[in-house]
Amino acid sequence: MAGLALVGPDPDADVLGGINGLAKDAPRWVNHTMEYLGEYGVLAALAVLCVLAWWSVRRRAGAPAAVAGLVWAPLAAGLALLANIPIRAIVGRPRPFRDHAGLTVLVPGKTDFSFVSDHATLAMAVGAGLFLVRRSYGLIGMGLALLEGFCRIYLGVHYPTDVIGGFALGTAVVLLLAPPAQALLVPLMTRLGRSRAGRLVRAPGVPETVRTPDAEAAVEAAYAQTFAETYGERYAAQDAADGPGLPAARAALPGGKGPERDLAA
């Protein structure tokens, strides 16, 4: 258990000691890399991922709703961090290096409480928010969140349960508040898409809404009705003028009757 001072079994500290113990024998550059990733690198990668997701979804049909989801991801992360303030104060769990000797603490100077991890909360909230918009980006975001959680334990500043609690908090805020958030953000993004700043929401030439199968069927039905109303009377008058022989001859031609033959052409 890498030198931790324990009284009785403690799985949380066992996992902490096993992961943090990797830092004792790791080269200095590895520890510096983990320090950078755990403090800034993963969060920066999530920000870049959000930008890439925005660039992608604004080029698809229904862009305002997708962009609204992307806006919700960082907003939910901020709300989750705010929710963590009273949670930390109520739980009041000290940082692991205050209670366990022998930890390799790579980020000294942490004086606040440990449960739950802000970094894990923020990272998973963004990942879950991206998953609601595009699964591919969401899976990458969640993978980065897992890396963030591992780094926080490796650095010796959080227990595993601090990280798990952060994952749960971030995911819960995203999922529970997504419906009212989308109800507010989708109309806002739709209006923004129609303004001069519309390119922030929808790339030029991209339709505003998604054409679902039901919508496609409704369009086809309306087109067929309009076609029948427009051309039905025309061919009825044509048949009356041509005499009884020509309508039968027209029907016998390849492609069927006149209106359908014109439509196929």
pLDDT at 61: 74
| Stronger pLDDT, 33 or 100, i.e. the higher one | 33
Q: Is the pLDDT of residue 216 over 50?
A: no
| Stronger pLDDT, 97 or 223, i.e. the higher one | 97
Question: Are residues 125 and 235 located together in one domain of the fold?
Answer: no
Of the candidates 133, 98, 87, 93, the residue with the CA atom closest to the CA atom of residue 114: 93
pLDDT at 149: 96
Question: Are residues 225 and 184 located together in one domain of the fold?
Answer: no
- Rounded CA-CA distance 219/8 in Å is 70
pLDDT at 264: 39
Question: Are residues 248 and 175 located together in one domain of the fold?
Answer: no
Q: Is 31 helix (H, G, I), strand (E, B) or coil?
A: helix
Question: Are residues 162 and 255 located together in one domain of the fold?
Answer: no
Q: Is the pLDDT of residue 159 over 90?
A: yes
CA distances from 51 to 48, 56, 71, 103, 264 (A): 5, 9, 11, 37, 45
Q: Is the pLDDT of residue 75 over 50?
A: yes
Provide the domain count of the chain.
Answer: 2
Question: Are residues 191 and 259 located together in one domain of the fold?
Answer: no
| Structure-token pair, residue 219 | 């369009």
Question: Are residues 151 and 50 located together in one domain of the fold?
Answer: yes
- Rounded CA-CA distance 234/198 in Å is 44
pLDDT at 233: 57
Q: Is the pLDDT of residue 231 over 60?
A: no
Domain at 91, CATH number: 1.20.144
- Residue 44 belongs to what domain range? 11-200
pLDDT at 207: 64
- Rounded CA-CA distance 177/221 in Å is 38
Question: Are residues 32 and 139 located together in one domain of the fold?
Answer: yes
| Structure-token pair, residue 209 | 């809404």
* pLDDT level of residue 139 (50, 70, 90 thresholds): very high
Interval 94-114 mean pLDDT: 85
Q: Is the pLDDT of residue 169 over 70?
A: yes
Q: Is the pLDDT of residue 249 over 70?
A: no
Question: Are residues 15 and 135 located together in one domain of the fold?
Answer: yes
Interval 231-236 mean pLDDT: 54
Q: Could you read off the pLDDT of 112-130 as tens digits, one per residue?
A: 899 999 999 999 999 999 9
Q: Is the pLDDT of residue 33 over 70?
A: yes
| 6 occurs within a structural domain | no
| 180 occurs within a structural domain | yes
Question: Are residues 25 and 93 located together in one domain of the fold?
Answer: yes
Of the candidates 82, 79, 106, the residue with the CA atom closest to the CA atom of residue 95: 106
End-to-end CA distance of the chain: give it in Å, rounded: 79
| 3 occurs within a structural domain | no
| Stronger pLDDT, 5 or 27, i.e. the higher one | 27
**114: CB partners within 8 A, 6+ apart:** 93, 94, 95, 96, 157, 158, 159, 162
pLDDT at 197: 78
Question: Are residues 29 and 122 located together in one domain of the fold?
Answer: yes
Task: Name the DSSP letter for residue 199.
Answer: G
CA distances from 184 to 38, 51, 62, 64, 74 (A): 34, 22, 16, 12, 15
CA distances from 11 to 6, 33, 95 (A): 11, 27, 16
| Structure-token pair, residue 72 | 């919700």
| 1 occurs within a structural domain | no
- Domain end, chosen from 155, 170, 200, is at 200
| 140 occurs within a structural domain | yes
Q: Is the pLDDT of residue 147 over 50?
A: yes
Interval 229-256 mean pLDDT: 52
pLDDT at 224: 54
Q: Is 210 helix (H, G, I), strand (E, B) or coil?
A: coil
Question: Are residues 190 and 227 located together in one domain of the fold?
Answer: no
Question: Are residues 44 and 131 located together in one domain of the fold?
Answer: yes
